[in-house]
Structure 1
Amino acid sequence: MKELLKNILSEPAELRKSLAHALGSGRDGLDQAAALVTAADHVYITGIGSSWHAGMAVQALFERAGFPVHLADASELLHVVTLPAGSAVIALSRSGKSVEIVKLMEKCRHAGAKVIAITNTPDSPLGKSADALLPLHAAFDHQISITMYSALTLVGGLLACAVTGTLGKDLGASLADALSAAEVRFDEWRSAIAASAWFTREAPTYFLARGGSLASAYEIRLLWEEACKAPASSYTTGGFRHGPQEILKKDLRIGLWIDRDILRAEDLALAKDMRRHGAQVMAIGQDLPADAGDLVFSLPPIPSGWQFLIDAMPAQFASEHLSRLRGVDCDTFIVCPYVISSEGGL
């Protein structure tokens, strides 16, 4: 069994551990971080690569609650953005050691910005320099971010809820139940993947989503590139409908995340229209009809705005399957090191 597959299979259990820590022994740290964010005049969420994708989900929870935040790639925040007085920076990084994150800490100090670190490495440069530390408290993945990505969305999302007053007393239990319910469906999802004609070795693939699930679309696009060594594109669902739909043709593959609360009927109609133009659609969402796509993953119930916590999981399994179909090793990076330690070249 590939290490990637092992990581996916263990993901719900690791996320339940992370959740229990954040709302248990880590609750004081969560409240401290929330106080820093609440007191700030400007709030930035940053990360790079998979961590930046996780930031999309965190941003969505903040903004659903009417709390505006800025999301910036760590390299862009380091080199392009001027941090104004009264800023707080929520920095997401599994390792806390990426070169852009390390350099960004110095910039934050000079600007007087408060730093909230969300990382799985408390003794990293990020963890040591932060004003508040939120550890993920989950096992590291073998190589590619699986649990680490999802744990960043989870802990960052809990911070967003703590800041915006939406961290209800039942949220933790509801999220834990959703993680367990998703885990129960793993065998069903894997069987559907094994039997599906959606997968081909070379078909171009587009991933589309809205809201917090946009994080999943971007992360799975990255997983296609890292694990399957296959090119892919990711868009907002709305953005795809304003020009890129010209790419629709026979054998194009589409991954479409459908939100329970946002334009559900419209996106089901979009899936139908894309299939009519010859594309094959993988649809992911809660309580989807069986004919929503060529490959359909129906998710268990989860609190509103939190679908992103579980809706990458079916596509993570899909990436492992495609890597085998393509004959590539999903456990090995060919060019990319685990931690990027310089800003030039590869």
Structure 2
Amino acid sequence: MTKFDPQMLKETRQAPEVVARQLRENASLTAKIAQAIAERRPPFAVTVARGSSDHACTVLKYAIETGLGLPVASLGPSVHTLYGAKLNLAGALVLAVSQSGASPDVVENVRMAREGGALTVALVNVEDSELAQAAEFTLPLRCGEEKAVAATKSFIASLTAFLPVLAQLEGDQQLGAALNHLPQHLAQTLELEAQAADLAERYRFADNLILLARGLNYGVAQEAALKLKETNGVHAEAYSAAEFSHGPKRLLVEGVPLLGFTSADAAWPATQQAYADLQGSRADLRTLGPAEGSTLRTPATGHPLTDPVCSALAFYLFAAHLALHKGLDPDQPPLLSKVTKTR
């Protein structure tokens, strides 16, 4: 291991205690939100977020749609803030995710939705932020201060904050048990840091990288692509393993390497076949996740909704060490700051 230990890695390693604190301190809030959703029976849900928070919403979309059968759409914040449209969100469940709670366009959309009769829930780390005040309900991420520009522990917390609500609404005891054991599984994932660093070393000269996934892991792949851009200056893009086999597959001829996320859920057989086909085409493909045979195999957590959390954590270890292999400081990405306010 290198002697330089960036803030990004230090905060990544806090994930187990963050999730444990969140589960413990949000219990009463979780019950209230689950009760409100059960009583109001929203016909659909929308998410409002940007950047890493929006990628967490992609994971939540799959979680809500597969668990509750509730359609989920991603709201374009500028539809209201720039174009002046007031969307009809009466009765909808509106989930806004933000580490800082300071982005004006997210705040304004939540305010509009609440005034229009939506059930609004903010997943936010800064509990006295404008976003927290604008929403009817708040689920704190419980991360403590996050100093690194590249969000890590706040993304992990964004993945887990709403899962106890789903467990209660679905009466899913398996999910409840998986959440209770998740801090332990995250701690086991941190033990893979040396393996993650070894895997990262082989990509040290890569200028481009494609991330592949399906279903619950697709949002994690989106987040992975963003982190590679932020911390490594690598041109990375995320694709569905199904969609990549169309036009993007042409990039294999150029030798672009691939990193695929694996799973232990209903999406895995189709994803596994897609990866096998790519390897048959001599693609440079390595894998990360809980499936047997993964290049970097993460702990199985006991539920499809919690497995991606460990995969995200393992990827953060990979990304930080890739930056170190490249001689970069992941805490000092050029042109970027911690909070970006958009309208």
Q: What's the TM-score once normalised by structure 2's chain length?
A: 0.88
d(CA) in 1 for partners of 2:196 and 2:153? 22
Identity percentage over the alignment?
21
Q: 1:314 to 1:280 in 2, by over 3 A?
A: farther
Matched, 1:70 2:76: no
**Is the 8 Å Cα contact of residues 61 and 161 (structure 1) preserved in structure 2?**
no
CA displacement, residues 11-48 of structure 1 (integer Å, 9 cap, x when unaligned): 1221121122223x434443355347x43344211211
d(CA) in 1 for partners of 2:291 and 2:262? 10
Q: 1:128 to 1:78 in 2, by over 3 A?
A: same
Q: 1:188 to 1:40 in 2, by over 3 A?
A: closer
Corresponding residue for residue 310 of structure 1: 310
d(CA) in 2 for partners of 1:167 and 1:122? 28
d(CA) in 2 for partners of 1:195 and 1:86? 47
CA displacement, residues 155-208 of structure 1 (integer Å, 9 cap, x when unaligned): 12333444xx32434533322324313422433342353266532323411111
More moved, 61-70 vs 103-112: 103-112
Corresponding residue for residue 321 of structure 1: 321
Matched, 1:112 2:114: no
Letter in 2 for 1:300: A
Corresponding residue for residue 49 of structure 1: 51
**Is the 8 Å Cα contact of residues 262 and 291 (structure 2) preserved in structure 1?**
no
Q: What are the equivalent positions in structure 2 for 1:129-208 lying under 5 Å apart?
A: 129-143=134-148, 144-162=150-168, 165-169=169-173, 171-191=175-195, 193-194=197-198, 198-208=202-212
More moved, 166-175 vs 76-85: 76-85
d(CA) in 1 for partners of 2:339 and 2:188? 33
SS in 1 for 2:332: coil
Query: How far 1:82 moved relative to its partner?
Result: 4.4
Gaps of 5+ in 2: none
Say which of 261, 274, 286 aligns to 1:257. Answer: 261
SS in 2 for 1:151: helix
Letter in 2 for 1:328: L
Query: How far 1:2 moved relative to its partner?
Result: 0.6
Gaps of 5+ in 1: none
Aligned length, in residue pairs: 335
Please tell me the root mean square deviation across aligned C-alpha atoms, in Å.
Answer: 2.5
Corresponding residue for residue 338 of structure 1: 338
Q: 1:101 to 1:22 in 2, by over 3 A?
A: same
Q: What's the TM-score once normalised by structure 1's chain length?
A: 0.87
Corresponding residue for residue 91 of structure 1: 96
Matched, 1:18 2:12: no
**Is the 8 Å Cα contact of residues 196 and 314 (structure 2) preserved in structure 1?**
no
